[in-house]
Structures are given as C-alpha cells and as structure tokens.
A and B are shown apart, each in its own frame.
Chain A
Amino acid sequence: MANLVEQLLNALALAGLLFLVSAGLSLVFGILRVVNFAHGVFYMLGAYLGFTTVALSGWFWPALVVVPPIVGVLGALVESSTLRFIYRRPPIYQLLLTFGLALILEESIRVLYGPTAKGVEPPVQLQGAADLGGLLYPRYRLFLVVLSLVVGAAVWLFLRRTRAGLIIRAVAQNSEMADCLGADVARVRTLVFGAACALAGLGGVAAAPMTTAYLGMGISVIVDAFVVVVIGGLGSIGGSMAGSLIVGAAQTWGAYYLPETAMVIMYAVMGAILIFRPWGLFGEEE
C-alpha cells in the first residue's frame, strides 16, 4: 500500500514537470500553429539559469521567481526576430526553423557551462523526507506536485476568466477574424510564445534539484512532451494534463516493474491510444 502511494506520488511529480513543458508547447501550437522544437531547450536553459542564480544568491527561491521571466523575454525576442517572418509558409519550415534555433541554444549552453552536469541544491525547507502517515517521501517531489497543480490551475483560470485569456482563445480559433476585431495578433503571438517559454523555464528550474542541469535534458523532455501532446491532442490544456498523467504513470510504473523496457511501455500506451484516436484524446480531427 505504502509502495503504491509512493509510486503514485512519483508519477504525479513527473507528470507535473511534463505538464509545465507540454502545456506551453500545446499553447504555442494553439495560437501560432507552430510546433516549437526549441521548447525543450528553453526548459534546459531554465535549469542552467536556475543553477547560476542559486550559485550567485545562495538561495533556491529567487531562482524560481527570476528565471522564468528571463527565459520568457528571451523566447519573445526569438519569436519576434525569426519565426514572425515565416508564418505563411507550410508548417515544415517553422518546425525546421525552431530546430535550427534549438541547435544554436543547446550549443551556446555547452559553450557557457561546459559539458558536465550542474547539481542544484533544493531549498532547506524542502530537503529531506516528509512523514506521510508512515511513508517517508522526499519533500521536494511533493513540492513539484503542488507547484504544477497551482500553475496548471492558474493557466486555466487565466485563459477562461480574463479578458487577455479571451483574446488568446479568439486568436486560437481564428486569427484573421481576431485581427479584424482589433486584437493585435502579432503581439498576442509574441506574448504567448514568451509566456510558454517562461513556463518551460519554470519547469527547468523546478526540475534542476531533482535531475540536475545537464546537456541533453532539453531533447529528452521535448520527446516526452511530444508523446504527451500526441496522446492528449495539440492545442488543448486539458489534453496536456491528461497526457502528462498518462506518460508520468507509464514511465513511473514502467521503470519500477520493467526497468529495462520502461520506454517501450510509454510507446505502447501511445500506440494504443493512436489506433483509436489518431488526433489525441482531447484534440480535434483535422
């Protein structure tokens, strides 16, 4: 029983990180119709900047506050200096452009930080294990679960309950129409792209104490996030959440029961879902 609860919490913590990344990926697709291959690199950037902030300040908490806006601004700059010019082209070109951007960013991080992984200490308050009625569980993972729930709820409320959220949803529905109605579509795109990068950056900071900051964490998370959005359906926040939970669960239980073939479990689940819903659980048929 205790074991089951532990696995469940592990799955939730992993799902939380995946959600922070895949929600942004999905949001960007919904508004810009671009699958941002560089999204994982922004996550990695978040982790490394988190490392730097902790190293400079000696504290973890400032990193959580400072890093996401920095990553977000960088993302917005990248969008408005490159992607903006090729929205009218077939989707391949946007994917390829973001691939080029991913190479540049990944290699730049290697230049700046060197090839070795950087460990990040969790904040003192979250070190060690919490006693959950007899089950000792790492506090930091509990924090991850809570953090992603809070962020998920905030994103959802923002999209559903605010005027800005309404405009974003309008652009997602029909950008030409929204343009006619006076929404500044170009600005909405830049802001959404930046916000999604900030979410990825937040994910990276939050992940760093658990996984360390290392080269290759970007591609590894983007592949998982692709699986998440394929399962959940692109452009749907609910889909990202469901997909994250499914992938988190598949990876956690896979790693526990069949450590050698954990990846295969995830793909088997994805394959099964695709057979019945090729456009994902929450996605819309093209």
Chain B
Amino acid sequence: MTRSRVLGLAALVALVVMPWVLARHQLSLLTDLLIFGLFAMSLDLIMGYTGMVSFGHAAYFGLGAYASALVLLDFAQPVPVALLAGALLAGVVALPVGWFSTRATGIYFAMLTLAFAQLLYTVAYKWRDVTGGSDGIAGVPKTALFWGGPGLASPQAFYFLVAACVVLSLVLSLAVVGSPFGRALQAIRENERRFTSLGRDPRPFKLVVFVLAAVFAGLAGALFAPFRGFASPEVMFWVFSGQGLMMVIIGGIGTLVGPILGAMVFILIQEVLSSYTEHWMIFTGAVFVLIVIFLPGGLVGTARRLGARG
C-alpha cells in the first residue's frame, strides 16, 4: 500500500468519526470548509491540470447555488434533486462560455472568463424576479434525502451528505486525471503546440474539462445554498473567483487534494482575521502576495519538496 493510499484512508476515517469528535459549531465550520474545498478542487482541474487560469469560476458556484435554492424553496424537492439541478445548470452555462473562452489561450482566457463571470453576476444582480436581486434568495430549507425520506436538518446529517459529495467528487476527479483524457490535459498544459502537432486539436479537450470543472463547482454551490440557507450575488463576485485561485495556490496547484486543504487554510485564516478586524481583506491580500512570492508550490508542493529532501 502506497503512502498516499494510507493517508487517504486515514483522512476518510477521520471524516467519518468527526461528528462524534467535534462540537456542533466546529462540525458546521468543517462542513463549510469541505464545500469550499470542493470548489477549489474543481478549479484545480482546469488550472492545475490543463494550465488554464479561469478568473470567473465563482460564476458556476453561484449558478449552482441559485438553481439549488430555487429547487428547494419554490419546488420543495429533495436535496439530491437540487444538487443535480445546480450541477446541471452550471454545466449547461459553461458550455457556451467555454466554447468562446477556449478559443483564446493564456491570459486572454483568464480575461474572457472574468468578463463572462461579471456578465453572469450582473444578470443575477438585475434579474430580481428570479434571483431576488442584491438581497438574493433567503430561507433555503434543508429538505429531505429523498421523497418522504429522512430530513437533513441536523448538522450531522448534512455534514455526511457534504462529506460524501466531496469524497465522491475527489475520487472521480482523481480517476479523470489519471485517465487517457486527463493525461492528454496535462500534455496540453505542458506544451500546446506540441500537442497539436501530435494529432489532436486541444480545444475540445479544454471545453470538456471546463464544463466538468463547472459541474463540480455547481455541485459545491448547490450544497452551499441549503447549508447556509441563502444564495446571493456575492458568491458570483470576482473577489470569490480570485479567492478560489488563492485556495488552489495556497494548497498546491495540480494536486487536487492540495486545493481542498488550501481552501480550508484560507477560510480559517479569514475566520481568524475577521474576528480581529473587519478589514481582513487587506491582510488576506498581503498573505496572498507573500505566498505567491515565497511559496509558489503551495502547501502540498512545499511539503513534497521538503519530503524529497529529508
């Protein structure tokens, strides 16, 4: 058994026993961390494995949150239906955006994804009838697991749902990354011109992974809405997209697990800072600048380097 499998198994056991170890509010914080971890992981699929920096990933999280909120509040469907709706809406919108954006490369791609995300943000902000405008949609209930099934209102129940979604998404993403498709993505990241000259147009690959990443981000958003009880334009804002990039960089780009940890660290830093000052964004920005300059490999990358040295 390899070291990473042992670590994975240990993490899984830890996730299962957490509800009996942690206090109620700690479990709630962990649930939050896992949701943002899933968001950061989804971004790593395009950023770390394909080398495409999306500056508008929050849009798909937000779409997932809105779709989920509407399904739960207006149609009172079970939570899994809301999750499906959130993931689906994010994927469907990502299709045309991705089609346009993947025509450009590098920095142009980053700018385009940002521009489209701001467009979606504006729509969410202005389409009051559906999205509730700047107030968003509040009072989103945690309905049942299935029609007539057990409720998910207890923190433990919802925690397990979130943990299961995150673990499944991670396992699926790891499978994708190791598949022929995932290997092709990494080749695109390394050298797009060589890729083209070896017989394939990279654009369909990029489009598929862009949509896939949006689906996972949508799932994270769809979990977020019932967990926090609301969906608002905030979660589609550019700041959140940038924070996603930070989570990935902090954790370690191109490692999938790293960004999940990075998200946790990021949110915890934010929690701590915001308990001291309402202007925590200044310090977040500063921490981020320092990490970019001094720790480009992120936590996992740096740990690996130290491990290789030791």
> Are A274 and B289 closer than 8 Å at their CB atoms?
no
A62 contacts chain B at the CB level, 8 A cutoff: no
User: Which residue of chain A is the closest to B122 with respect to CB atoms?
Assistant: A263
By DSSP majority rule, is chain B's interface helix, strand, loop, or mixed?
Answer: helix
> Are A278 and B282 closer than 8 Å at their CB atoms?
no
8 Å CB contacts to A: which residues of B255-283?
279, 281-282
A110 contacts chain B at the CB level, 8 A cutoff: yes
Chain B interface: which of A1-9, A131-139, A225-233? A225-233
Known: A103-B239, A234-B108, A279-B108. A96 touches B288 (CB 8 A): yes
Please name all residues of chain A whose beta carbon is closer than 8 Å to the beta carbon of B296 when the two chains form the complex. 89, 93
B147 contacts chain A at the CB level, 8 A cutoff: no
By DSSP majority rule, is chain A's interface helix, strand, loop, or mixed?
Answer: helix
What interface size band does chain A fall in?
35 or more
Please name all residues of chain B whose beta carbon is closer than 8 Å to the beta carbon of A106 when the two chains form the complex. 281
Q: For residue B243, give the distance in angstroms from its CB to the closest CB of chain A.
A: 9
Chain A interface: which of B19-27, B69-77, B111-119, B130-138? B111-119
A170 contacts chain B at the CB level, 8 A cutoff: no
User: Which residue of chain A is the closest to B288 with respect to CB atoms?
Assistant: A100
Q: Could you tell me the distance between the alpha carbons of A7 and B63 in the complex, rounded to whole angstroms?
A: 35
Residue among A104, A110, A271, A275 making CB contact with B289, cutoff 8 Å? A104
> Are B285 and A223 closer than 8 Å at their CB atoms?
no
A85 contacts chain B at the CB level, 8 A cutoff: yes
Known: A95-B53, A278-B104. A230 touches B111 (CB 8 A): yes
A107 contacts chain B at the CB level, 8 A cutoff: yes
User: Which residue of chain B is the closest to A271 with respect to CB atoms?
Assistant: B100
Q: Could you tell me the distance between the alpha carbons of A104 and B281 in the complex, rounded to whole angstroms?
A: 7
Known: A223-B114, A230-B111. A85 touches B293 (CB 8 A): yes
> Are B111 and A96 closer than 8 Å at their CB atoms?
no
User: Which residue of chain A is the closest to B117 with respect to CB atoms?
Assistant: A223
Q: Could you tell me the distance between the alpha carbons of A270 and B114 in the complex, rounded to whole angstroms?
A: 13
B107 contacts chain A at the CB level, 8 A cutoff: yes
How many residue pairs, one in A and one in B, have C-beta atoms under 8 Å apart? 106
Of listed A89, A234, A278, A280, residue having the most chain B CB within 10 A: A278
Q: For residue B101, give the distance in angstroms from its CB to the closest CB of chain A.
A: 9
Known: A93-B292, A95-B110, A104-B289. A267 touches B282 (CB 8 A): no
Q: For residue B107, give the distance in angstroms from its CB to the closest CB of chain A.
A: 5
Please name all residues of chain A whose beta carbon is closer than 8 Å to the beta carbon of B100 when the two chains form the complex. 271, 274
Known: A234-B108, A260-B126. A103 touches B288 (CB 8 A): yes
Q: For residue B46, give the distance in angstroms from its CB to the closest CB of chain A.
A: 12
Q: Could you tell me the distance between the alpha carbons of A219 and B115 in the complex, rounded to whole angstroms?
A: 11
Please name all residues of chain B whose beta carbon is closer than 8 Å to the beta carbon of A279 when the two chains form the complex. 104, 108
> Are B293 and A86 closer than 8 Å at their CB atoms?
yes
Q: For residue A279, give the distance in angstroms from its CB to the closest CB of chain B.
A: 7
> Are B53 and A103 closer than 8 Å at their CB atoms?
no
Q: For residue B165, give the distance in angstroms from its CB to the closest CB of chain A.
A: 28
Residue among A92, A110, A267 making CB contact with B115, cutoff 8 Å? A267
Please name all residues of chain A whose beta carbon is closer than 8 Å to the beta carbon of B238 when the two chains form the complex. 219, 223
Known: A230-B115, A263-B119. A101 touches B285 (CB 8 A): yes
Q: For residue B170, give the distance in angstroms from its CB to the closest CB of chain A.
A: 23
A183 contacts chain B at the CB level, 8 A cutoff: no
B217 contacts chain A at the CB level, 8 A cutoff: no
> Are B104 and A230 closer than 8 Å at their CB atoms?
yes
Q: For residue A276, give the distance in angstroms from its CB to the closest CB of chain B.
A: 10
Q: Could you tell me the distance between the alpha carbons of A189 and B207 in the complex, rounded to whole angstroms?
A: 36
Please name all residues of chain B whose beta carbon is closer than 8 Å to the beta carbon of A110 when the two chains form the complex. 279
Please name all residues of chain A whose beta carbon is closer than 8 Å to the beta carbon of B292 when the two chains form the complex. 86, 93, 96-97, 100
> Are A229 and B111 closer than 8 Å at their CB atoms?
yes
B188 contacts chain A at the CB level, 8 A cutoff: no
Q: For residue B234, give the distance in angstroms from its CB to the closest CB of chain A.
A: 13
> Are B281 and A107 closer than 8 Å at their CB atoms?
yes
Q: Could you tell me the distance between the alpha carbons of A82 and B290 in the complex, rounded to whole angstroms?
A: 9
B103 contacts chain A at the CB level, 8 A cutoff: yes
Q: Could you tell me the distance between the alpha carbons of A93 and B293 in the complex, rounded to whole angstroms?
A: 8
A90-127 interface bits toward B, Cβ cutoff 8 Å, 1 = contact, 0 = none: 01110111011111101110110000000000000000
Please name all residues of chain A whose beta carbon is closer than 8 Å to the beta carbon of B282 when the two chains form the complex. 103-104, 107-108, 111
Q: Could you tell me the distance between the alpha carbons of A89 and B281 in the complex, rounded to whole angstroms?
A: 25
Q: For residue A268, give the distance in angstroms from its CB to the closest CB of chain B.
A: 10
Known: A82-B289, A100-B289. A111 touches B108 (CB 8 A): no
8 Å CB contacts to A: which residues of B83-111?
100, 103-108, 110-111
Listed A/B pairs (8) with beta-carbon separation below 8 Å: A35-B110, A91-B106, A100-B289, A102-B285, A103-B242, A104-B285, A111-B279, A234-B108
Closest 9 CB pairs of A and B: A103-B285, A104-B285, A100-B288, A226-B111, A107-B281, A100-B289, A107-B282, A100-B285, A278-B103
Q: A100-B292, A103-B242, A271-B100 are in contact. List 13 more A-B contacts (CB 8 A).
A: A89-B296, A97-B292, A100-B285, A100-B288, A103-B281, A107-B285, A111-B279, A226-B111, A230-B111, A267-B115, A274-B103, A279-B104, A280-B108
